[in-house]
């Protein structure tokens, strides 16, 4: 999975946004024609290394929807969450690398604690190749998990999507700023909440 071409097409259009969230970015992934359609990854870009993103959610006042004009590619051995992707299985069948899933910061089952909250039905529909939508649910990790923290690139992986159609999304993010420590390593003040709603993205390959 080393053919990342950053497009930077998915700029955030926010109804409300915090200073610690910068934008969404979309990478095109060359699947070498192994599966039908084009593959993309969507990332949240945070302001600082160490900032935390712990949930992608939908609620009544800010629904979540990820859709395509044609079905999403869903591998029989994959799943709606990246934690469903068994790393060993990808060595036996490379097409599993291009399954469609959602996540926070991890691409397979290794040390991956991502889970759904009131998302069982929505994730099941998505796992059948249909849109992912909720107005009362989330996928999340607890903020103490390493995968929730932005690394040096300040990017946190949110999803991988493969489809022959035109892909678009409307999502909301929740997290917190990294802890500020004094010279002795003690926390200084409380982290600030990061909450951004109405973020849109479009997955489009440069031709």
67 in helix, strand or coil? strand
- β-bridge partners, 165: none
Cβ atoms 159, 124 nearer than 8 A: no
Sequential pLDDT tens for the chain (207 residues): 333 333 333 333 333 444 578 999 999 999 999 999 999 999 999 999 999 999 999 999 999 999 999 999 999 999 999 999 999 999 999 999 999 999 999 999 999 999 999 999 999 999 999 999 999 999 999 999 999 999 999 999 999 999 999 999 999 999 999 877 777 777 776 788 999 999 999 998 876
Total length of the chain: 207
Which residue in the block uniquely carries the two structure tokens 């069982």?
120
78 in helix, strand or coil? coil
- E strands, 34-110, are 38-46, 52-58, 64-68, 101-102
Q: What is the pLDDT of residue 169?
A: 98
Q: What is the pLDDT of residue 8?
A: 35
DSSP 125-185: HHHTTS-EEESSEEEE--TTSGGGB--TT-EEEEEEEEESS-EEEEEEEEEEPPPPB-TTS
* Per-position b or e across 135-166, b if 16+ CB within 10 A of its CB: eebbbbbeeebebbbbeeebbbbbbbbbbeee
Cβ atoms 148, 177 nearer than 8 A: no
**Distance (Å, whole) CA 26 – CA 203:** 7
Hey, where are the domains in the chain?
4-202
Question: Which value, in Å, is the radius of gyration of the alpha carbons in the chain?
Answer: 17
Q: Which of 90, 62, 72 is nearest to 171 (CA)?
A: 62
């Amino acid at each position: 999975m080393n053919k990342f071409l950053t497009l930077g097409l998915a700029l955030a259009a926010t109804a409300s946004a915090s200073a610690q969230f910068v934008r969404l970015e979309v990478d095109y992934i060359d699947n070498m024609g192994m599966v039908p359609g084009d593959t993309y990854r969507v990332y949240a870009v945070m302001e600082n290394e160490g900032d935390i993103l712990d949930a992608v959610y939908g609620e009544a006042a800010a629904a979540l929807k990820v859709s395509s004009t044609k079905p999403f590619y869903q591998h029989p051995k994959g799943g709606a969450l990246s934690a469903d992707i068994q790393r060993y299985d990808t060595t036996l069948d490379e097409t599993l690398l291009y399954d469609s899933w959602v996540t926070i910061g991890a691409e397979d089952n290794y040390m991956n604690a991502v889970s759904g909250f009131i998302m069982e039905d929505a994730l099941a529909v998505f796992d059948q190749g249909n849109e992912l939508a909720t107005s009362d649910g989330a996928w999340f990790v607890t903020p103490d998990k390493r995968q929730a923290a932005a690394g040096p690139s300040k990017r946190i992986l949110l999803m991988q999507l493969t489809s022959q159609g035109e892909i678009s999304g409307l999502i909301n993010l929740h997290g917190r700023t990294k802890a500020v420590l004094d010279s002795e390593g003690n926390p200084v003040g409380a982290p600030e909440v990061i909450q951004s709603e109405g973020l849109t993205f479009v997955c489009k390959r440069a031709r």
